Structure 1
């Protein structure tokens, strides 16, 4: 195959950028990265709420091929992470390949041309030999179904669409949710608001996050001793791998983490009744782990009240919970997460024979290695089904997938093929293996989380270590796919 194999990448977040960089390194020049925002960064550009930071340590939340010696702290905040991805786009020459402010609404496989047609929100169409969805897991915000018994005169906003024009100084603010987002933004809101209400459907386990700035000496060493930053990332990676046991229901690691969380709660909250409200009744790890050293102390401040009943409705200037509690509020912040189990966000994908991916996934999303689905040739995904790693960095997983896709495309180029489709048997074997591995994990307990599809199957989580996934993706397996040469029938 000639080197003109064209690739369309939907999403300029960490996954799309990684794939673009690796494609360029492999000699592919005809690729375009689309994004609906005005620059790169994905979720790190869209989300700008107060206190936003990563819950993976800085030196691990970076590409292995572009280690950053200039992180300012152990866990970096949103502006610094966004700056890192912007710099990667510049450094690796991706700017000419970007098509920003372009939202791709649909992808359709054209049988006659054996190409994908991408249709943007403005109606423009773009055709490629291969399409890769890098839209990510957290694309469609979930808003609670709050009935307005009276027209609410305040402001309601989702944390992922933060409105910085809304005055918060002296405001009465209700925060709906108790997950990672709430743990970051609530302490910041308590510094400026007159009153903050933490409205919880259920409390969550909180683990300490002993964040700090790197010292001047540490930063100098990272910048001037190349081996220092090269060793830091593997060390953090191995430490994260050791925590994989937390996903095993009742494991010793789970018990250790539970004891740490209970100790932090005891240390941070003196009031016995408040401790009761903040003690979860679900197993450690069945929901996303939350790391914060200032969330629990913030809940004890005099201008904070914890309401342990979910929000039910809004009135003119108040919020009412399920148990009838009513509080006057000016701003309602919905830190209520995303429809993570509904992959591809707003993107409609139509493959061979007119089948849509939503139809194929009506009983839950599934994909070979989280990347490919039978009937959708020349179509791959990054951060697809069952690739949300429970104990390590998603950047590692994204990079492993991007490298696999590049290997597949190099194989096409080398063998002069233009069609690649994963086989049903390969997908079936992979899904069966994932389901076997899922047995005994804490995610299969009776616990409300975003990991499950409507039929109860866990469709987001990877039930083994990041090392296992790397081992399964480090070599491309042609036997799991079918191929066609240009203008020739399938083998």
Structure 2
């Protein structure tokens, strides 16, 4: 039985930073002809989904927030999940966005109607959405990556991914296997090690971990930020430029990263005195090749008598145990996957049909993910991606990138209106030139030359995730729209 048909000018997919930021800017422009689709029953995106113990942002809060919606009341320099979720929740309320949100709607695909110059988007509920513009705010970190381990389906204990934390399961006194050593694992391992009977950490590649002491922001400082906004803006600026200074090191000047690598190595050597464990935890690649992590309690958690770091891989999962690559079998009550997300292949799951029946997922799978500025795609008019391919960062706040993208998208929409057109689509030559340029720049970066394999790379070993260079350069490239980059279809 078919669902309802909903019509709007702008359809926004997702209610994380990207989706809510777009809706806020539309509302600030006095527009109400938009709908947000949200698969869940609440806003928040990543910060709604990830509720594991210790979940926090690794970018300081005053930078990991909208410049047009500052928050003077962050209680810590690096805020936890609950505080960031409350920030997003508050924005939805402040701008009365809930009346524009259709909760419990999961997009399954869509097609471009060239005759009527409209997108038709389908959902699992059977409802159809017809819109002039579609803005994808789903991001990259939303599909948990659970590895296909031999025998995993026979495991009789409890198993879950860190992004789907089972809060009903009591870890106290249990033998727990953690698979993966990414950002999530580095945060939740110190939180659970005190409760478990055993912690078995199955590590493929050790991360670089720099020491971090998360300081609280005193009430006096928070009051000052609220009463004298200039002080808050100054703090944000200082944090921004400190992070931005790393851009050169990431992009072809590895010598500039040596002080950070020295700091990380000193942190490891000072904390881990056991030479065998220290060797296991020492990365063999250049710092920055994989995501740099910050923690003051990760290494102390691993030197606990309860902890064991296993680097021989996993040969097999059995109903009550895991067999490592060297044949050692260890009893296990629970398995926690700290294995990150489907990133590049997550983009490939976007099932859109553009002009002349072109399928975006098939094109990206066959030829690689290609866009212009990570936002628009040749052959797919009026479709925009926020925090799309090659706009992720390893050194600064992605919220800065999202703001730049929102501004660009809204200016392109305005340009379509001013020209009396119905649609705009980026020219293939412009997209090709952009991708050639960024891939040449990425080839010089630490992600390509640092000696590691990371989730930044697609199945062909091509970096389709990271923006090469400074965020200032991206801001400059997106601050205005060049009409010559697009083909317009009259209304």
Q: For the superposition of Structure 1 and Structure 2, which TM-score range results when normalised by the shorter chain?
A: over 0.9
SS of the equivalent of 2:245 reads helix
* Residue matched to 1:399: 403
Matches within 5 A, 1:67-82: 67-82=70-85
Matches within 5 A, 1:3-402: 6-148=9-151, 151-248=154-251, 251-344=254-347, 346-361=349-364, 362-402=366-406
SS of the equivalent of 1:102 reads coil
Instruction: Give how far 1:316 is off.
Output: 1.8
CA contact under 8 A between 1:19 and 1:402: conserved in structure 2?
Answer: yes
TM-score normalised to structure 1 length: 0.96
TM-score normalised to structure 2 length: 0.96
| Counterpart-to-counterpart distance in 2, 1:91 and 1:149 | 45
| Counterpart-to-counterpart distance in 2, 1:158 and 1:150 | 14
Q: In the alignment, does 2:442 pair up with 1:435?
A: no
* Residue matched to 2:468: 463
Instruction: Give how far 1:466 is off.
Output: 0.7
* Residue matched to 2:3: none
| Counterpart-to-counterpart distance in 1, 2:430 and 2:147 | 39
Say which is worse superposed, 20-29 or 430-439, in terms of deviation.
20-29
CA contact under 8 A between 1:105 and 1:346: conserved in structure 2?
Answer: no
Runs of 4+ in 1 over 4 A off after TM superposition: none
SS of the equivalent of 1:384 reads coil
**Deviation string, structure 1 residues 94-126 (Cα, Å, up to 9, x no partner):** 122111111111121112221101101011111
Count residues in correspondence: 483
Instruction: Give how far 1:398 is off.
Output: 0.5
CA contact under 8 A between 1:342 and 1:365: conserved in structure 2?
Answer: no
Instruction: Give how far 1:326 is off.
Output: 1.6
Structure 2 unaligned segments of length 5 or more: list them: 1-6
**Deviation string, structure 1 residues 387-421 (Cα, Å, up to 9, x no partner):** 00221100000110011001111112222211110
Structure 1 unaligned segments of length 5 or more: list them: 487-491
SS of the equivalent of 2:335 reads strand
**Deviation string, structure 1 residues 269-291 (Cα, Å, up to 9, x no partner):** 11111101100111111111111
SS of the equivalent of 1:197 reads strand
**Deviation string, structure 1 residues 440-491 (Cα, Å, up to 9, x no partner):** 21111341101112222110000111111001000111110011221xxxxx
Instruction: Give how far 1:428 is off.
Output: 1.1
Pick closer, same or farther for the CA change 1:249–1:266 going to 2, 3 Å.
farther
Instruction: Give how far 1:179 is off.
Output: 1.2
| Counterpart-to-counterpart distance in 2, 1:25 and 1:414 | 19
CA contact under 8 A between 1:377 and 1:419: conserved in structure 2?
Answer: yes
| Counterpart-to-counterpart distance in 1, 2:403 and 2:348 | 21
CA contact under 8 A between 1:204 and 1:280: conserved in structure 2?
Answer: yes
